[in-house]
Amino acid sequence: MTRLAALLLLTLTACAGPSDAASPGTTTVDACRPAVKGFAVTADADGKPLPTATPTEHQKAPHTITGPSTATLTDHGIHPVESTQEPKLPVEVKSCDGKQVQVKDVSRIIPVDLYGTLSEIVFSLGLGDKVVGRDTSTGFPEAAKLPKVTPSAHDLNAEAILALDPTVVLTDKSIGPPEVLEQLRASGVAVVFFDDARTMDGLPSQVRAVAAALGVPERGEELVRRTQGEIVKALTLAPRGGTPLRMTFLYIRGTAGVYLMSGPGSGADAMIKSIGGVDTGTDIGLTKPFVPLTSEALIRSQPDVIIVMTEGLKSIKGVEGLVKLPGIAQTPAGRNRRVIDMFDSDLLGFGPRTGRTVEALAKAVYLP
């Protein structure tokens, strides 16, 4: 099993969120506070019901749709918040790995995690010009020319990072190995761990924690407000009433022999819920974010829709290769070729572009 697959099997437990300022001249941030209730599926942050859009014929009868679709963001770019606030430093951070870290300089930032989420947040905060390196999953255009510090899939390389002379490294437990991050700390680099859970409710806390750790909490609040508005708007695309579609997310890397089915805490469950679907992994009683795929679990799940990452689908030669996997043909999704693929770094990022992700996924499912 690849390192990426092994990381996906981890139970995600850390939490994030900033705390109030403490000592004079120094802000104190707790990067591991529990997530606050953020984005509900049926109501906005103030508890008001979401507006109901006039459903199309497909939305009225989603079970009648057949064939594959690709969920594509209409805009992959990063749009930084407009702010003149300069970073207020130093910041004392209680890192999510239990260490106390002082951030004194944000002139050379390296954000790294399994999904590119931290890079997306930093760029959206308007600090993209201070980012000097990226991970493999950071795929938006603004970061394309940055050097990778994960030359081997998703494994961090200490030499590649140190060569960029970073002043602060932002990360979480989804990426490693841990020895590299300890080596960076031993070299004098400030390394801050954040929440690695993939939930809609955790997004505001994550943005606030990163913004506060970098000394720009006001920018964080503005980014949360904007992201919330985009998500609430996208949630209106999910149909109300009727029998919801049963959806299964599969993490597949055919070339590496990795076939996993998602369950609670995977991040895919939150995305499925946000577009009005039933996450079959949760529904059949899975207790881990990812488990090895079996034909028995698939047949028990009976998904109407199967969601996969685009590169994963390519690795098994497309939809035709997918339906040949044991158990797929015995499901409504397999019989109807109802397979939705989405670009790898978009689907589970849970960053500031989440509203666009929800919108693209909903359109692929209900408006193919």
Structure tokens at 350: 């849970």
Q: Is the pLDDT of residue 217 over 60?
A: yes
- Both 66 and 90 in one domain: the answer is no
- Mean per-residue pLDDT for 198-206? 86
- Both 244 and 346 in one domain: the answer is yes
Give residue-wise pLDDT tens across range 160-172.
Answer: 999 999 999 999 9
- Both 126 and 66 in one domain: the answer is no
C-alpha span between 329 and 339 (Å, rounded): 12
Cα dihedral sign, 311-339-203-8: negative
Amino acid at 307: I
- Both 310 and 340 in one domain: the answer is yes
Q: How many domains does the chain have?
A: 2
Q: Which long-range contacts (CB under 8 A, 24 or more apart) does 57-63 make?
A: 58/366, 58/367, 58/368, 59/239, 59/366, 59/367, 60/239, 60/242, 62/239, 62/242, 62/245, 62/304, 62/365, 62/366, 63/243, 63/245, 63/304, 63/332
Residue 46 pLDDT class (50, 70, 90 cuts) = low
pTM for this predicted structure = 0.85
Residue 196 pLDDT class (50, 70, 90 cuts) = confident
Q: Is the pLDDT of residue 5 over 70?
A: no
The CA angle 86-88-89, to the nearest 5 degrees, is 135
Question: Exposed, middle or buried: residue 25 (CB in 10 Å: 0-12, 13-18, 19+)?
Answer: exposed
- Both 209 and 262 in one domain: the answer is no
- What pLDDT score does 153 carry? 66
Does residue 52 fall inside a structural domain? Answer: no
- Both 211 and 245 in one domain: the answer is no
- Both 90 and 67 in one domain: the answer is no
Give residue-wise pLDDT tens across range 95-106.
Answer: 999 999 999 999
Per cent of the chain over pLDDT 90 is 67
- What pLDDT score does 201 carry? 82
The overall average pLDDT reported for the chain is: 87
> What are the residues facing 262 on neighbouring strands?
290
- Both 190 and 277 in one domain: the answer is no
- Both 264 and 347 in one domain: the answer is yes
- Both 201 and 317 in one domain: the answer is no
The CATH number of the domain holding residue 278 is: 3.40.50.1980
Q: Is the pLDDT of residue 75 over 80?
A: yes
Range of the domain at 316: 57-71+240-366
Of 76-85, 147-156, 251-260, give the lowest mean pLDDT range: 147-156
- Both 91 and 203 in one domain: the answer is yes
Does residue 249 fall inside a structural domain? Answer: yes
Strands, E, within 17-149: which ranges? 27-30, 69-71, 91-94, 100-103, 109-111
Residue 197 pLDDT class (50, 70, 90 cuts) = confident
Q: Is the pLDDT of residue 149 over 50?
A: yes
Q: Is the pLDDT of residue 282 over 70?
A: yes
- Both 263 and 169 in one domain: the answer is no
Domain end (from 180, 215, 250): 215
DSSP string covering 245-265: PEEEEEEEEGGGTEEEEE-TT
Does residue 145 fall inside a structural domain? Answer: yes
Give residue-wise pLDDT tens across range 315-349.
Answer: 999 999 999 999 999 999 999 999 999 998 788 88
Does residue 22 fall inside a structural domain? Answer: no
Amino acid at 36: V
